[in-house]
Amino acid sequence: MDYIKTTEHRSLQRFAALCPLQDKIYFKGSFMKITRDTAAIVTGGASGLGEGTARRLAAEGAKVAIFDLNAERGESVAKDLGGVFCQVNVADVASVEAGFAKARAAHGQERIMVNCAGIGWAEKTARRSSAGDIFRHQLDKFALVISINLIGSFNCAAISAEGMLSNDPDAGGERGIIVNTASVAAQDGQIGQVAYAASKGGIYGMTLPMARDLAREGVRVNTILPGFFETPIYQQMPPEVKINLASHLQFPQRFGTPEEYADLVSFMVTNGYINAECVRLDAGARMPPK
């Protein structure tokens, strides 16, 4: 046993001698520190998961810019956080570019980009009405969901990544992180969710190639797949509907909170070793067809 321990120790010493970055990465680990100089952008930051994330990042010291269409609510949240509000339609390229320009003028180049903006839509690929008439999915509605959820997330991520490449790397070689929001519907799309599931599946699918694209530049990319959360959409549902939805959860059998979502965002930001990951945050839910 002593011989084995001695051999293992010598092997580790030889490995260490071959790793010039050992003090920074291999043995001490790497993590992004959030300080008063850290700029962050959160889309959909005026409510729900985005607001929870914006508040968490601000509480940890970041300078937060909120992208949202709801100017009244967005201005109020930004004021609470000491941040800046940018009225942005993520489906409009000019609006997004103007938002980045305003955010960077106020806080400098961001190191944290979190995409939470999105919409839902329920419609079958084709269906029969109660009268027997046959209809197909409205193509303009399908395109709208893809435009906001998928293309909007990609465009914000790409613009942010372009800017992050100008950041000086930190002690771990990192220049920034992008966190996208998909959904459990990316894997468990239900009846009537073809547009929504397609948009979220696209976000899920672009995580690994985007992380690979940016790896050499020290920019990480992760995606969260949330289940049922206490957001404005679900808060408007009748109690009996929420109870039925919660029955699909394993434990705990309740909706998640924006604060719990923000906890995972914070972990992804500060743990430098989590990259190219898609993480379900859903209390063990596996959604049935309907």
As a three-state string, the secondary structure of 97-148 is HHHHHHHHHHHCCCCEEEECCCCCCCECCEEECCCCCEEECCHHHHHHHHHH
Percent of the chain whose predicted confidence (pLDDT) is above 70: 90
Q: Is residue 251 part of a domain?
A: no
As a whole number, mean pLDDT of residues 190-213 equals 97
Cα separation of 91 and 113, whole Å?
17
3-class DSSP state of 156: helix
Which structural domain range is residue 219 located in?
35-231+256-280
196 is catalytic: yes
So what's the pLDDT on residue 49?
98
> What is the total count of domains within the chain?
1
So what's the pLDDT on residue 55?
98
Q: Is residue 87 part of a domain?
A: yes
Question: Worst-scoring range by mean pLDDT, 145-149, 174-178, 221-225, 229-233?
Answer: 229-233
Q: Is residue 195 part of a domain?
A: yes
> Active site residue: 26, 196, 204, 261, which one?
196
Q: Is residue 11 part of a domain?
A: no
User: Tens digit of pLDDT for each residue in 248-285?
Assistant: 899 999 999 999 999 999 999 999 999 999 999 999 99
User: Tens digit of pLDDT for each residue in 161-194?
Assistant: 999 999 999 999 999 999 999 999 999 999 999 9
Q: Is residue 66 part of a domain?
A: yes
So what's the pLDDT on residue 289?
86
Q: Is residue 28 part of a domain?
A: no
Which carries the bigger pLDDT value, residue 207 or residue 7?
207
Q: Is residue 237 part of a domain?
A: no
Cα separation of 99 and 95, whole Å?
6
Q: Is residue 19 part of a domain?
A: no
So what's the pLDDT on residue 5?
45
- Is the per-residue pLDDT at 53 higher than 90? yes
Ranges assigned E (strand) in 131-276: 134-136, 176-181, 219-226
Cβ(277)–Cβ(223) below 8 Å: yes
pLDDT confidence bin for 232, thresholds 50/70/90: confident
So what's the pLDDT on residue 13?
53
User: β-strands 63-68, 84-87: how paired?
Assistant: parallel
Helix or strand run (H / E) with residue 65: strand 63-68
So what's the pLDDT on residue 246?
87
Cβ(100)–Cβ(163) below 8 Å: yes
Cβ(204)–Cβ(182) below 8 Å: yes
CATH number at residue 46: 3.40.50.720
